[in-house]
Chain A
Amino acid sequence: SYVLTQPPSVSVAPGQTARITCGGNNIGSKSVHWYQQKPGQAPVLVVYDDSDRPSGIPERFSGSNSGNTATLTISRVEAGDEADYYCQVWDSSSDHHYVFGTGTKVTVL
């Protein structure tokens, strides 16, 4: 089955830029989606189709995808961005279809 690998944690100072990677075999050929999850809350979609943002998501959240790595970038990080972030793809070659990454805890210093 398809595997998505994320770093367990990323630390960033307020106002700086956080980059969260999501590695997968030829992930650049798939559409990648990103979710933010704060403690005790349901996940929230922050980026879909590699780089699009749902309405209501700040422009500070952006995404890219190429080769074997997709990246979620959070610019001008705020304390409220502290959360777990998960990447996700739809794997049409697998009967399981929906694969999540291992998750990354973003800590705002």
Chain B
Amino acid sequence: EVQLVESGGGLVQPGGSLRLSCAASGFTFSSYWMHWVRQAPGKGLVWVSRINSDGSSTSYADSVKGRFTISRDNAKNTLYLQMNSLRAEDTAVYYCARDPRPGVAEYFQHWGQGTLVTVSS
């Protein structure tokens, strides 16, 4: 069974940093592209970032480009999101998500339960 478990969320002051983790199990992690998707309270889903299977290629939404860094450790089956220069508008539940199968990167078949990031003084 595919499992994605996020951690690392919490309360942080504006301008601060936080690193999210997503522990993966139940599949060959190193074969799949992975993503972060966020959802502000009461709002819709927004794609944040993706990384390819070996970590050599990344992409970001304009709203986080230059502030967030996605990475992965295939030996530890873990996905990360380093978030710097955090703003109030980054407050959201952050989900990690997986593609349906290797080589297909158009939608999200599996999702974690999410971790809440609150940016506030």
Contact = CB atoms under 8 A, between A and B. Distances in A.
Contacts of B106: 31, 33, 90
B25 interface: no
Interface in A1-49: 31, 33, 35, 37, 41-45, 48
Contacts of A88: 45, 107-108
A45 B109 contact: yes
Contacts of B59: 95-97
Q: Interface range on chain B: under 10, 10 to 19, 20 to 34, or 35 or more?
A: 20 to 34
Interface in A60-109: 86, 88, 90, 95-103
Contacts of A97: 47, 50, 59
B105 A103 contact: no
Contacts of B44: 86, 100-103
Interface string B19-42: 000000000000000010100000
Contacts of B113: 41-42
A98 B35 contact: yes
B107 A42 contact: no
A31 B100 CA distance: 14
A45 B45 contact: no
Given A42-B111, A102-B44, 5 more contacts: A42-B114, A54-B109, A90-B105, A100-B46, A101-B44
26 contacts: A31-B106, A31-B107, A33-B107, A33-B108, A35-B108, A42-B111, A42-B112, A42-B114, A43-B108, A45-B108, A45-B109, A48-B100, A48-B107, A48-B109, A54-B109, A88-B45, A90-B105, A90-B107, A95-B59, A96-B47, A96-B59, A96-B61, A98-B37, A98-B50, A100-B47, A102-B44
Interface of A: 31, 33, 35, 37, 41-45, 48, 54, 86, 88, 90, 95-103
